[in-house]
Amino acid sequence: AQSVTQLGSHVSVSEGALVLLRCNYSSSVPPYLFWYVQYPNQGLQLLLKYTSAATLVKGINGFEAEFKKSETSFHLTKPSAHMSDAAEYFCVVNTNAGKSTFGDGTTLTVKP
Amino acid sequence: EAGVAQSPRYKIIEKRQSVAFWCNPISGHATLYWYQQILGQGPKLLIQFQNNGVVDDSQLPKDRFSAERLKGVDSTLKIQPAKLEDSAVYLCASSELGLAGGYNEQFFGPGTRLTVL
């Protein structure tokens, strides 16, 4: 069985500050890992995904995530937060067949 | 390219009534998912179709929920009878069929917000 834990249901940062959203997973096989984002009044969309080609994955809007097998983590970061980054972020682990398990999400608030 | 379409966007019903949701995936996407997202939680997979066959329905409450995907395109999710705890957003998503299914991105519809009174 696979599971995802997102540490911190709410994260608040100032504009220009570092964004760090934490995700730990458990999976019995090498994982397929994703971050999805849901902006206010919009549907879920892919931010980035881990494809095993590189442990540091770059996504849209300046976000990146690093896969650390020893720590079973896939934390999401952005060096400098923008007001438009305010959204809910979900960490997801997939099986080989594409069955997804979502974390409970982290709501990011960006203060001016 | 048109995205995943869902209807209705909002539905309010009383407990013990029936309700149905419709989803039209992106053209050519073989895999279709239905999720339930309760407020404050992440989406939970209810059922996954590949073409018109069920891949996974282990978390579908089969005593009241049913889903079908006729002809491997559109899909309908039904709840009969509804309970208060079914109040949630119901999301439909689709993805391409590939050898490495785990890598495939899912494309989500806007969801249907169900309120059961």
Dihedral, A45, B22, A97, A41 alpha carbons, nearest 10: 20
- Numbered residues of chain A with Cβ closer than 8 Å to any chain B Cβ: 4, 9, 32, 34, 36, 42-46, 49, 51, 90, 94-105
Instruction: Tell me if B82 sits within 8 A of B18, measured CB to CB.
Output: yes
Contact A49 B105 (CB under 8 A): yes
Distance CA A12, CA A25 (A): 23
Chain A contact set for B49 (CB, 8 A): none
Summarised one tens digit per residue, pLDDT across range B15-52 is 999 999 999 999 999 899 999 999 989 999 999 998 88
Return the number of CB contacts < 8 Å for A and B. Answer: 66
Q: Would the pLDDT of A95 be above 90?
A: no
Summarised one tens digit per residue, pLDDT across range A72-87 is 999 999 999 999 999 9
Q: Which two tokens stand for residue A33?
A: 């890992």
What is the reported pLDDT for A28? 72
Q: Would the pLDDT of B99 be above 60?
A: no
pLDDT (mean) for B88-110 = 85
**Residues whose CB is less than 8 angstroms from the CB of residue A31 and which lie 6 or more positions away in sequence, other chains included:** A2, A25, A50, A93, A94
What is the reported pLDDT for B96? 87
Q: How confident is the model at residue B102 (pLDDT cuts 50, 70, 90)?
A: confident
Average pLDDT, chain A: 92
What is the reported pLDDT for A54? 83
Summarised one tens digit per residue, pLDDT across range A21-75 is 999 998 877 788 999 999 988 889 999 999 777 889 999 999 999 999 899 999 9
What is the reported pLDDT for B38? 94
Angle at A36 between CA B88 and CA A49, to 5 degrees: 145
Chain A contact set for B3 (CB, 8 A): 43
Contact A44 B108 (CB under 8 A): yes
Chain A contact set for B101 (CB, 8 A): 94, 96-98
- Radius of gyration over alpha carbons of chain A, in Å? 13
Taken as a whole, chain A contains a residue count of 112
Nearest partner of B65 among B42, B90, B41, judged by Cα: B90
